[in-house]
């Protein structure tokens, strides 16, 4: 009896020890057990997504860097090309005796002196008189040019002998401006209006007598009256139309592109202007002769490209005949070579009016500038301008 009672606690104690050992072993097995299949798939997907995001971001950054590098290379190459072109143009100008002034070229064509507008006249390194245009590409125009036309006829006289030579007849700048197109104001060319120096007196006479038939020069109030009439669309067009038909003034438009263009582009602009004005009066301009003359004019421009800064002259003689001259490459003798002429004076008259008068002109700054130049002429006694130019 005593033996059995003494053995029970021992058996109970060993049972408790066995259970504790079994629990520890089970806990150890649970801690060190391998993960299930679902756990493995979740971990792999998470790592895969991280790797994919990394590769995607890395590719995006590398692509952006490559694009930025290519863009910077192209931009640098473009800026280098522009700099080299500018240097080349500068070298060509230096070698050809063009303008090299110590001070910056003024942007204004006229300046105010004693309440009156005066044309700004500079001198280049060779002493030739030049006028600033206000354009960054074609910066100056010559104040006078010599033009030799096949239709030129010389009269005997002191002034004519002075201002005419083997190089041709001298023309004096009246005014200039830049032609722009579209609402963006894209610059096409700089245009200047010249009148034969000998014929300035004819222009003075007509304009002065229009305001005051007894005067030989105009006072400020009369000049303002003339200015308003020339700015008026209808009256200004009538005034210039009469001058071109009756005064017999030889004149020219000097056109210099500010960027590379072609003869076809220039021709289309001229033809549109002539056609638009001719359609206003079919009785004056609807005959077959005018149509043939317009075809002749178009054929004059059947050529190729026109580089920037090249000179083209549209010249009108005392009878209104139109001649087109162009500055060819490596030419000797006259400054420009004749491309052809049109005998019908209506072609040149309509083309001239496209710059001088009307509701819409080819270049409003040029029209304003030309009127300023006219005011400078009429404030002097008739016949004295040509002498002062000489």
Q: How confident is the model at residue 240 (pLDDT cuts 50, 70, 90)?
A: very high
The pair of structure tokens assigned to 77 is: 């190459």
Angle at the Cα of 24 (from 18 to 27), degrees rounded to 5?
140
What average pLDDT does this structure show over 97-111? 60
pLDDT of amino acid 172: 94
Q: Which residue has the higher pLDDT, 224 or 14?
A: 224
pLDDT of amino acid 78: 87
Q: pLDDT for 160-206, tens place per residue?
A: 444 455 568 999 999 999 999 888 889 999 999 999 999 999 999 99
What average pLDDT does this structure show over 272-284? 91
Question: 């700004």: which residue's tokens?
Answer: 120
Whole-angstrom Cα distance, residue 211 to residue 220?
A: 12
Q: Is the pLDDT of residue 9 over 80?
A: no
What average pLDDT does this structure show over 262-277? 93
The pair of structure tokens assigned to 50 is: 């991280």
SS3 340: strand
Whole-angstrom Cα distance, residue 27 to residue 30?
A: 5
The residue among 204, 196, 300, 298 whose CA lies nearest residue 243 is 204
Whole-angstrom Cα distance, residue 267 to residue 324?
A: 12
pLDDT of amino acid 100: 46
- DSSP letter for 197, please: G
Q: CB of 177 within 8 A of CB of 191?
A: yes
Q: What are phi and psi of 139, to 5 degrees?
A: -80, -30
The pair of structure tokens assigned to 226 is: 């003339």
Output the pTM of the full model: 0.69
Q: pLDDT for 73-87, tens place per residue?
A: 898 888 888 877 776
Q: pLDDT for 356-389, tens place per residue?
A: 998 889 999 999 999 999 998 988 888 777 656 5
Q: Is the pLDDT of residue 88 over 80?
A: no
pLDDT of amino acid 103: 59
pLDDT of amino acid 11: 47
Instruction: Please state, rounded to an integer, the average pLDDT across all residues of the chain.
Output: 80
The angle, 0 to 180 degrees and rounded to 10, between the axes of the packed helices 364-378 and 220-231 is 150
Domains of the chain: 110-389 (3.50.70.10)
SS3 190: strand
Q: CB of 377 within 8 A of CB of 385?
A: yes
pLDDT of amino acid 180: 92
Q: pLDDT for 121-166, tens place per residue?
A: 888 878 889 999 989 899 999 999 999 887 665 544 444 444 455 5
What average pLDDT does this structure show over 9-38? 52
């Amino acid at each position: 009896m005593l033996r059995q009672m003494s053995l029970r606690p021992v058996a109970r104690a060993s049972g408790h020890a066995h259970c504790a050992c079994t629990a520890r072993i089970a806990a150890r097995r649970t801690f060190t057990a391998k993960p299930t299949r679902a756990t493995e798939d979740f971990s792999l997907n998470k790592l895969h997504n991280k790797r994919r995001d990394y590769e995607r971001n890395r590719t995006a950054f590398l692509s952006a860097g490559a694009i930025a590098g290519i863009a910077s290379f192209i931009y640098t190459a473009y800026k280098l090309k522009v700099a080299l072109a500018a240097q080349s143009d500068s070298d060509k100008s230096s070698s050809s005796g063009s303008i090299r002034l110590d001070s910056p070229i003024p942007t204004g064509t006229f300046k105010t002196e004693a309440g009156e507008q005066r044309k700004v006249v500079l001198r280049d390194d060779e002493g030739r008189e030049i006028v600033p245009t206000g354009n960054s590409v074609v910066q100056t125009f010559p104040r006078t040019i010599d033009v030799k036309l096949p239709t030129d006829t010389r009269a005997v006289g002191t002034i004519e002998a002075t201002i005419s030579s083997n190089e041709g007849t001298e023309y004096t700048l009246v005014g200039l401006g830049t032609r722009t197109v579209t609402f963006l104001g894209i610059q096409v060319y700089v245009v200047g209006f010249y009148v034969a120096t000998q014929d300035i007196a004819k222009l003075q006479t007509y304009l002065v007598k229009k305001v005051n038939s007894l005067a030989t020069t105009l006072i400020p109030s009369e000049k303002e009256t003339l200015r308003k009439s020339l700015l008026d669309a209808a009256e200004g067009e009538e005034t210039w139309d009469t001058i071109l038909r009756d005064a017999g003034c030889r004149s020219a438009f000097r056109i210099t592109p500010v960027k590379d263009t072609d003869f076809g582009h220039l021709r289309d602009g001229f033809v549109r202007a002539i056609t638009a004005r001719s359609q206003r009066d079919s009785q004056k301009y609807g005959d077959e002769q005018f149509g043939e003359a317009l075809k002749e004019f178009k054929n004059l421009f059947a050529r190729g490209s026109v580089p920037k800064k090249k000179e083209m002259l549209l010249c009108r003689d005392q009878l209104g005949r139109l001649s087109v001259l162009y500055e060819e490459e490596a030419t000797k003798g006259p400054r420009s070579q004749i491309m052809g002429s049109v005998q019908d004076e209506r072609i040149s008259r309509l083309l001239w009016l496209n710059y001088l008068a009307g509701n819409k002109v080819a270049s409003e700054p040029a029209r304003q500038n030309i009127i300023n130049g006219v005011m400078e002429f009429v404030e002097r006694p008739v016949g004295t301008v040509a002498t002062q130019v000489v």
